[in-house]
Amino acid sequence: MRHHSVGIVGVGNMGLAMALRLRELGAELHVRDIDPAREALAIDAGARRAATPAEMARRADAIVIAVVDAAQSEAVLFGDGGVAGAMRAGGCVVLCPTIAPASTEAIAARLAAAGIDTIDAPMSGGPARARSGTMSLMVACPDRVFARWRDLLESLADPVFRIGERAGDGARTKLVNNLLAAVNLVGAAEAIALAERVGLDAARTLDVIERSSGQSWIASDRNAARDRR
């Protein structure tokens, strides 16, 4: 990727995976998390700690927001010591949490008023795929912003789905995807429950499903996560 100074606010499971990916590719990386232990994992890989999101904004050209929800996003962007008050005009915020389209639109409008670009980019695929750069991003932003930051986005994800220019359309796409994922997961749970009721071994039945026409990624992923516990 071209040389950029990049920040990540929120180095939980997905944020840390992205941080390790960017460091592997040689990016100058800054991190901030409320948990010092999470920050330490990124620092061990060569990232620099920012004491506040504002401090990060003074260093970074683009900042990836990988916190949990809209309230946390607004706090790190617009609260005391937030990004918006410190980032120079022309900077960019990559908004990755799964939040309501209206919240995405509102955040993008407030950042635009400060001269900061927004990339609406919810993610899908889980930490392992984020670490390898093979998760997916559903990207909505103006064409000029996409052109400028395409190398960063493609360093983080493959595929990068170009949804359109309207802020909130990435979030809308993620909600549609999540609805279908939930339907698939509920259906898989009901199928395994049926298998057990008729006397079949659940693990063997799932093995058949994963290699047959009933397979769904989310059912396989969630059952693998359950088995690891």
Active-site hit among 23, 131, 148, 174: 174
23 catalytic, yes or no?
no
> How far is CA 141 from each of CA 120, 163, 168, rounded to the nearest angstrom?
6, 8, 9
Catalytic residues: 174
